[in-house]
Each structure stands twice: as C-alpha cells, then as structure tokens.
Amino acid sequence: MPEFRKDPVTGRWVIISSQRAKRPQAGLGHSSAQPEVCPFCAGNERETPPEVLAYRNDKSRPDRPGWSLRVVPNKYPALVAQSGEADCTDGFYEARAGVGVHEVVIESPEHVISTGSLDERQLTAVLRAYRDRMLRLGSDKRWRYILVYKNEGREAGATLEHVHSQVMALPHVPKEVADEIDGARRYYQQSSRCLYCTIVENERSERTRLVSESERFIVLCPYAPRFPFETWILPKTHEAVFERGSDDEYAEFSRCLRDTLKRLHRGLEKLPFNYVIHSAPVSGNTRRYYHWHMEIMPKLSQAAGFEWGSGSFINPIAPEEAARLLRGLASSV
Amino acid sequence: MPEFRKDPVTGRWVIISSQRAKRPQAGLGHSSAQPEVCPFCAGNERETPPEVLAYRNDKSRPDRPGWSLRVVPNKYPALVAQSGEADCTDGFYEARAGVGVHEVVIESPEHVISTGSLDERQLTAVLRAYRDRMLRLGSDKRWRYILVYKNEGREAGATLEHVHSQVMALPHVPKEVADEIDGARRYYQQSSRCLYCTIVENERSERTRLVSESERFIVLCPYAPRFPFETWILPKTHEAVFERGSDDEYAEFSRCLRDTLKRLHRGLEKLPFNYVIHSAPVSGNTRRYYHWHMEIMPKLSQAAGFEWGSGSFINPIAPEEAARLLRGLASSV
C-alpha cells in the first residue's frame, strides 16, 4: 500500500510506493531496453489494465483495436484509489494513506516515439483527453488536484518509449503548484492583478524571451528558468483552468505545442523532455489570480549535488539566448 | 557575468551562468567521453587554475606533482568572486550579480573514479580539506553559506570521472538549507529541543531505518527519502557545524562514510550518487537548533515530470527496506 510521508524537518511530502519498483524498466539497473511487446501499441490492449477512456471508431469494442487514443490505469501506480487504511501518525512521524489515481494516456495506436511527430489532430485529441480526465477525476470529492505530465526519453524518466503521458489525481495540492498559488495570491493582494497576466504583458513588450505567439497563446522562455531551453506556453488572457477550454482553443494550443517541440527538436541534438500542465486546483477560490500554463523542460543535463543540496539551479543557457535560438528555428508545421 | 535571477512567482533563485556551457563535457550533447588528458591527475596541474590549497610533501612546489590532495578554482565556475556589477532589478524582475566562489577538491593524485575506493586516510584528508576551505571562505564577510557537494558518475551529473567534489561560497543561505533551518527553529521554539537530535534518538530506539552506528555518528535511511537508498549520516550529539570537528572526528566520520559507500556499492549494480554536507550558515544564531549532516543520494532513476511538476517525489523503495538491505551488507572495511 503506497504512503505519503512527511519529512519532519522541511515538511516535504514524498510518495513511498513499492509497486513502482516492479516496473519492468524501473530504472534501478539503468536498463533502456524496451519490452518485446509494446503494451501501448494497437493489438496489445490486453497488456494494459482495461481502458477508462478511448477515442475509437464506432464499431470497435473496448480494449480492442480501432482506437486513436486510450487512457488506462497505470499498471504500476504510485497511488491507489482504494485504501483500507486511514491516515496515520507513525509515532514521531506523519504519514497518510497513498490514495489517488494514476493513469496513462496512450497518445497513438502506432509505435510513435516523439510527441512532436503527432499531427495536429492527434495532438488536439491528446489535449481533449487531458480535459476529459481532469473533469471526470475532478468531480470526485476526494481529489484536490489533477496533475498532467509527460516524460519523453529515458533521460527524462520515461520507461516506455511509445508516446504517452500521465494523469494523477491527488488528495492535496502539490507543493510546486501551492508555491505558485501563494506567489500569485500575494501579487494579486498588492496589485489586484494576475501575476501571470503581468508576465505575459511584460514579455510581449520586452520580446527578448519571446519564442512565438498565436491569437490566444504565448510561448516564452521564463526569466528564471531552471533548465536550459525551459519553455512555457500560457494563454494570453486570464484563464485559471486548462480543462474549460473550447475545442478551438485546444486545436490552437496543439499547434503552439507542436511548433514549439519542433523548434526544440531542430535546435537540440536530442530532446528528452518533461512537460507539465499547471491548472488551478479543483476547488477553492484561486481562479481570480491563478493562470494555467504548460512548462516544457528539456533534460539536457542532470540535476546534481548543487541542485539537490541547495534547492537552486545552475542554468548555463540564458533564456534570452534560448529564445533567440528558438525564434530563429521557426518550424514549418 | 553570472547572475542570480528570481522567479517572480515562486521566489526561487536560479544561477544563469553561460561560462558553464563552455565545459568540454557540459552534457548538452550527453557525451560521456572523458578528455584525453585528465586535468585532475598528478602531472597535469597546468590543466587547472592555480591551487588554493594542497596537501603535499615538503619538497614539492605549488602546482607541481608531490601532492595527495589539491583544491583549485573551478575552471568553469557557476559564480565569480569579483563583480563589476551591482545588484539590479531588471524592470519587472529581480536579479543579483552572480558573485560567489566555486572550487574543486581533487581527492587523489591517481585516476581513482570511486570515492569508496579511497583509503581511510585519504578520505579523512578530503574531509579536512572541506573544513579548511569552509573556515577560510567563511571568514570572508561576503559569503553567508559554504556548500560542499559531490557528483559521482555521469547519471549524477559528473562531467569528469576522476574523484572530486565541489565547494561553493554563496552570498545567501540556499533554499534547501533555509527550509531545514525553518523547520528546526519551529520545533525548537515548541519543545526547546533540536529536531535532529530527536530524530537521532527516535531512530536509535526504533532501529528499522538504522544502517550503522559508530561512537559519534549514526547512519540511517530517513523517514521520507526522496530517492531510493537515500542515506544520511549525522553526529549523534548536538553539533551545528561540520567545520569545527577534531581530526579524530573526521577520521571516524571518514570510516562511517567509507563503510556506507561500500555497502551501497555492494547492494547496487551501479552507484552514481550525490552527497551534500548541510552545516549551519556562517553567521546567525542557528546553532542551538541546527544540526549538521551529510545526505547521500544515489541516482538510480531520474527525477521526471511528476517530481518537477509537483515538487514531490515518488520513491519505490521504502527506507525500512533500504536500511534492512544495507544493514545486511556490512562492509569489511
């Protein structure tokens, strides 16, 4: 049974989940071998738990071929939805039952290994699947936050290469998002403005960290990036929540994302990366000042002793330099 | 010129340092090739900046062979001691001149690639070199914190394989240490006790997360570890500061560290790891409640989308399991 445990000094929560160690390519031996049968390819549906969502043609049956996108429970989940155990204090320490939901979005029936290779329609479907699962999971009162993220490439923590991303429902707002909310709230209290809206306005006029713009979205390298070529995509007008977009908006966002990934692919020899969607928590009144966005984090180097020991980051590429390079690499989408 | 930059939302500081991108194995292309001439081997002293400390035999001259340990400025420093620039606000954003010191401790004149292979005497010399540099750098009023860390193995961020570690003098207390200090202060205010002393006492009586003990030190897997096999070494009695130890204490600590690394090497196929020494800040009155310690973090998997997106960690190995395995792997030092 997984467990949330709290570090008694820093208050940082971690998930202890022995189930995860059972993954075939769990990384403890640094194996990069792929399984002989890819569990995510069409025809191998029996290799995954039964689907919870699929976009499939009308005649096809669940957990059979005929789909263009599937969402399945993670076979090796970090959290489980049902728990026999209540929260507990472990003597001096504090722990909670590791309840949550951990799903995998299989983004193509073909063995595609790069998100940037998905066509616009397919990538739009991926974003709509995020929306569908965020709305569904968000309606369960147990979950306070739905986190969407992607690991692509072994250096970015992916164990399977077939394009996929992950959706997690959590019983609390994760620290990184809580920190963003705190900062945005403080700014709003002082200025009655959304901090992210101010950033967008600032970057649109400054232009040195701007990568591209569409009607509704801006792509930029943030002022204080943790990683070389870290790139964010934000809606240009105030919107707290990813999952309330229109189909039109997801189509436009998918063009921005695809264009950005293509620029990064052209600029960098290899592109292992993570992305994460930060949307407002399911409930609570953060919507006046929080502003959803996607953070794309290429993994060109490892976080190391300095980063883990200091909580800070050394980034050898200034965002102005990264943005200048990416601007010059306009993709022919 | 390097720069500290503050993320306007979370307040997180990062170091933007283009000098670092010039490292021959800077990792942007994921090269693991070592240079033909190892700059850290005896005889190649001209490949490094002039030494700032060396333990060498009486007849040898600076920056010539005859040393058993050298400390040199990092050739590709993340921070520089002299700055022409003052702190600045970059319009809407906040930045500071990237001043600091970044040094490399070359831990052996031979091309040894594993810290665990150093003999006790040599490892004691490494610890004494940390002390010597911490005291020297700490006497410069510009620096508020001296951070010692090690990256061993490419997966742990090392670009050169020859055994070495790094010392950084920083103009502020890094976030990770500040968070620890805050937690320790809160506990002290409530209970008039050192939180780390309480943890040590708790783990000594509980024993499930205990790896080993010596007269003065305890080796344990922490209750809420970020990483599989994360292991901490702490003094058993209250001591805020690493750099005020006696030669005897460093010798005993080196035996504990060596024993721990050997256990980890026996238990794991590969052992890329980071370690960091968290000692009290140079000044300020944290010494009643802060307690120095070393955190050893094996890098068996990558931090990925979940970790960067949530600020939390998924750890597939419970510390009780890790400690049980490590206890069974007593090293014959």
Any B CB within 8 A of A29 CB: yes
DSSP B99: B
Which of B 185-244 lie inside 8 A of A, CB atoms?
187, 195-196, 198-199, 202, 206, 222-226, 228
CA distance A307 to B279: 16
Token pair recorded at residue A159: 């164990």
Instruction: Decide if pLDDT at B35 tops 90.
Output: no
Q: For B185-232, write each residue's pLDDT tens digit.
A: 999 999 999 999 999 999 999 999 999 999 999 999 999 999 999 999
| CB–CB contacts below 8 A, A to B | 288
Q: For A222-279, write each residue's pLDDT tens digit.
A: 999 999 999 999 999 999 999 999 999 999 999 999 999 999 999 888 899 999 999 9
Name residue, tokens 């292309």: B29
Any B CB within 8 A of A24 CB: no
CA distances from A228 to A30, A303, B18, B26, B170 (A): 24, 12, 10, 12, 22
From its phi and psi, is residue A101 left (phi > 0), alpha (psi between -120 and 50) or beta?
beta
Q: In this complex, do A278 and B6 lie within 8 Å of one another by their Cβ atoms?
A: no
CA distance A151 to A274: 5
Interface test with A, best of B302, B317, B325 (most A CBs within 10 A): B302
Instruction: Decide if pLDDT at A26 tops 80.
Output: no
Q: What is the pLDDT of residue B89?
A: 67
The b/e string for B231-241 (b: 16+ C-beta within 10 A; e otherwise) is bbbbbeebbbb
Facing A300 at nearest CB: one of B15, B28, B305: B28
Q: For B223-274, write each residue's pLDDT tens digit.
A: 999 999 999 999 999 999 999 999 999 999 999 999 999 999 998 888 999 9
Instruction: Decide if pLDDT at A30 tops 70.
Output: no
Any A CB within 8 A of B93 CB: yes
Residues 6+ apart with CB under 8 A from A236: A200, A204, A213, A216, A217, A218
Q: What is the pLDDT of residue A158?
A: 94
3-state secondary structure of B205: helix
Instruction: Decide if pLDDT at B28 tops 90.
Output: no
Token pair recorded at residue A128: 């709509």
Distance from CA of A226 to the nearest CA of B (A): 6
Distance from CA of B264 to the nearest CA of A (A): 13
Tell me whether 0.85 is exceeded by the ipTM.
yes
Triad A69, A116, A250: Cα angle to 5°: 60
Q: In this complex, do B276 and A174 lie within 8 Å of one another by their Cβ atoms?
A: no
Mean per-residue pLDDT of chain A: 93
Facing B5 at nearest CB: one of A149, A224, A295: A224
State mean pLDDT over A272-288: 95
Q: In this complex, do A156 and B302 lie within 8 Å of one another by their Cβ atoms?
A: yes
**pTM, rounded to two decimals:** 0.95
